[in-house]
Amino acid sequence: MEILISTILVLGTASAHDELMQSICIVESNCDSTAVGAAGEIGPYQILQCYWKDAVEHNPSIGGVYLDCVNKDYSEKIMLAYWDRYCTEKRLGRKPTDEDRARIHNGGPNGYKKSSTVKYWQSVKSNIT
């Protein structure tokens, strides 16, 4: 019974962000796992190596190597760990929103405060139904 409850909780957490993640995926690369950005970001979510490192340091159980970020499922684990590290109620002083998550994904730990991430959020938001 405990395993089933844990599985439901883990799956419930991931599914709570599925729509947001899908929209970020579209905005970042049109979900192209072979995409490489101008700054060297890789995969469907265009993850930089420093982002990956922050996430894996926060949750070492993810394992893997940076190049694994070309895999969509792996990248989603990285994103969840990054958000768990930087997009928290304690850190933001309020309950985090999808806007906070998207802007932190785009602009780093303080991306939720940067005016440069507002347009990015608008693009992500336009894909969410």
**CA–CA separation, 49 vs 72, rounded Å?**
15
**CA–CA separation, 26 vs 101, rounded Å?**
15
Reported as a pLDDT band with limits 50, 70 and 90, residue 4 is very low
pLDDT value for 11: 41
> 10 or 15, which is more confident?
15
Q: Which CATH topology does 19-126 take?
A: Lysozyme (1.10.530)
For the chain, what percent of residues have pLDDT higher than 70? Answer: 88
Domain boundary assignment for the chain = 19-126
